[in-house]
Structure 1
Amino acid sequence: MAETQFRQGPSRVPFFKTMQKIPAGMMLIPLVLGVLINSFAPDALKIGGFTQALFKDGALALIGLLIFATGAQITGSHSGKGAAATTGVVLVCKTLIPVSIAIALGLVFGLEGFLGISILALLAIMGNSNGALWLAFAGEYGDERDTGAYVASAFDDGPFLAMIFLGASGLGDIPLLALVAALVPFVLGLIVGAVDREWTYILDDVPNITIPFMSFAVGTGISLGTVLTGGLQGVFLGIGVVVFTGGLTYLGYRFVLRRGPKSGIGFAAGTTAGNAVAVPMAVAAADPRFLPFVASASAQTATAVLVTAILAPLVASWVLRRAGGLTVHDPVPEIAASKADPEVQLAG
């Protein structure tokens, strides 16, 4: 009883709620703290033991856990019914076409990209979508077809597509074993989620738990100068994601799915997931040639996450309103928790 009262009592310093009030705060704030420590006290966490293992060297292990949880979600209740066509349109328009264009740019400009934007940054930002934000928005203004398309974000989460496209195009030297190693947690999660749906429910909370620690560990590998120089580029990239990938999904909704006034929902897909900040590091672990671009790509990705989390739902709402499609539906049961927790909508 005493323990229950303690858990339900007021917080002396409401760190968690403060972070929730900031768009993508659960990812951005730990990332910035990691950057500051790396910039002003770079040896503070290099003391070995559990401290270094979690806060300095723990990013890849936490990414693996996040990938495992992502696999389990595909067979969970969020997948919906009768949403195959919508899922296909969202996956093709939001992810596959933009990633293919990023690869084409890489073949023209090389790995370093252009204007300080590496191909690694483009793949991380264009190839990962914020499924939780999509789920919340589609649940409010769409129907079961739209909420079921959440599955598309599960497929594009993580470094898989980036590695596959880099390897297939020849831009990256991704060893087969490295690709298999990246896929094993996802496949295991897929199996566990299919066999035991209780695990799917338990793993729903994994992103909110792992993303802050993962982001901090990623931040300890980034300098403050990189953040300052990459911030403006990240803003433009974030706007580009909303306009380009959200716009493509809108066109898919309008001309392929023929959703009429509801086509504006497509713009809600124009986002970058919070866990996309880990993609550059995961790719570089498979192909060390990308290591020089990890810091700037991670900083640009973090900025794009913030920009898209704010801008995508605003643009989608505006387009829906102009088309007369801004009518609210009762949310399906499985998204109620996502809508109740604003951070879930932003973490991706």
Structure 2
Amino acid sequence: MKQVPIVDWLQRLPGGMMLVPLILGSVTGTFFPGFLGLGSFTTALFKNSALPLIGLLILATGAQINARQSTGVFKRCGVLLLTKTFIPAVIIILYGNIFGREGILGVSLLAAMIAFTNSNGGLWLALTGQYGTDEDRGAYIASGLNDGPFFILLALGLSGHANVPWQAIVGTVIPFIVGFVLGNLDKKFAEMMKPTAAITIPFFAFALGTGINLQNLVTGGVTGVLLGIGVTLVTGFLCFAGYRLFIRNSNPGIGFAAGTTAGNSITSVLVVVQADPSYAPFQAVATAQVAAAVLVTAILCPLMTHYMCKRYDAAHPPQEQRA
């Protein structure tokens, strides 16, 4: 039987494993809602699986974080969390204070907070493998920590922009802690959980898509492009500046490799709405906007990283860097 390289096609498209099933889920939910209501395993897997699978992915992410990292790795991790998560969160809180939850140009506070405050760990590993050092690659830990709803719920709750009960915040971090503890106690557990993302992402992406009307997907996609451009330029520059100020033995251009929105961040929209249902009116468009930002940053970020790393190398020859 002739083989169809479906997985290869999806992997060639930036964020394809998340975006394509999301769009297919949106098509199914818009035109074939009866299929999703068949019941039994069909409804459980294709419509109601998002939250359980997201919880499993968060646990698997925690299992990959190694507590025995070098000082240089933790220093870089701290710089990235400061410049990619904490400072952007403050900026978006100010955005919400000025423009309200609705935001401007159709970009809600919910979509902006989620798109700006997390990073794509896969792209970080790929780009640091080409332009960075081993310690830069180890700073993937930052993506493991911010690639989820915990910091988003914390920022929205503490700023007063969401009524987030403490149980919801604790509930998002417990699977991560369980995975972290088990992964560090038993390396075989961490190895066992490695394929979790590849297995779960297409299925919970489809389930998320079933709640998005195609009209919202198109509308949100247009504004999501602008959102993605802003994410790469603003957070990429902040991380570049953080590297320039605090990291001396790496090319600071690599900071732009964190100017991304992770595919998993699409799930955070649902988690925030579950924690504070008053954000429900923004859910459909925000999901589409974040999905568009994932794709745009996956394309723009490598271009900016290449340009900034080469430019810095030209201004600082290797001999000067070694000195």
TM-score tier (shorter): over 0.9
Task: Look up the SS of the partner of 2:35 in the other structure.
Answer: coil
Instruction: Check conservation: 1:134, 1:150, Cα contact below 8 A.
Output: yes
- Cα deviation, residue 12, structure 1: 1.7
Determine the C-alpha separation between the residues in 1 that align with 2:130 and 2:76: 17
Give the Cα–Cα distance (whole angstroms) in 2 for the partners of residues 36 and 80 of structure 1.
47
Q: Following the alignment from structure 1 to structure 2, what is the Cα–Cα distance between the partners of residues 35 and 200?
A: 33
Deviations 1:72-125 (A, max 9, x none): 122278x55532221111111111111111112112222222221111101111
* 1:18-167 map, 5 Å: 18-75=9-66, 82-167=72-157
Distance 1:237 1:317 in 2: 21
SS in structure 2 at match of 1:115: coil
RMSD between superposed Cα atoms in Å: 1.8
CA contact (8 A) 1:80 1:149 kept: no
Q: Show structure 2 runs of 5+ residues with no match.
A: 316-323
- Residue 231 of structure 2: aligned partner: 241
The structural deviation recorded for 1:37 is: 0.8
Which residue number corresponds to residue 321 of structure 2? none
Q: 1:60 to 1:111 in 2, by over 3 A?
A: same
Query: Residue 246 of structure 2 corresponds to which residue in structure 1?
Result: 256
Query: Does 2:289 align with 1:322?
Result: no
How has the CA–CA distance of structure 1 residues 76 and 212 changed in structure 2, closer, same or farther, with 3 Å as cutoff? Answer: farther
Query: 1:217 Cα shift?
Result: 0.5
Correspondence 1:245-324 to 2 at 5 A: 245-259=235-249, 262-324=251-313
Distance verdict in 2 for CA 1:11–1:68, change over 3 Å = farther
Q: Give the structure-2-normalised TM-score.
A: 0.93
Report if aligned partners of 1:81, 1:148 keep a CA contact under 8 Å in 2. no
- Secondary structure class of the residue paired with 2:33: coil
Letter in 2 for 1:305: V
Q: How does 1:215-230 map to 2 (within 5 A)?
A: 215-230=205-220
Q: Is the CA contact 1:63–1:278 (under 8 Å) kept in the aligned structure 2?
A: yes
Match of 1:199 among 170, 173, 189: 189
TM superposition shift of 1:51: 0.7
Length, aligned pairs only: 316
1:56 Cα deviation from its structure 2 partner: 0.3
Q: How far apart in 2 are the matches of 1:81 and 1:11?
A: 51
Cα deviation for residue 325 of structure 1 reads: 6.6
Quote the Cα distance in structure 2 between the aligned partners of 1:136 and 1:180: 32
State the Cα distance separating 1:144 from its structure 2 match. Answer: 2.0
Counterpart contact for 1:55–1:217, Cα < 8 Å: yes
Task: Work out the percentage of aligned pairs sharing the same amino acid.
Answer: 48
Please give the per-residue CA displacement for 1:198-226, whole angstroms capped at 9, x wherever unaligned.
Answer: 11122221111111111100000001000
Q: Residue type matched to 2:72 in 1?
A: G
Separation in 1 of the partners of 2:72 and 2:218? 45
Residues 113-162 of structure 1, C-alpha deviation per residue, up to 9 Å, x if partnerless?
A: 22211111011111220011101211222112211211111110110001
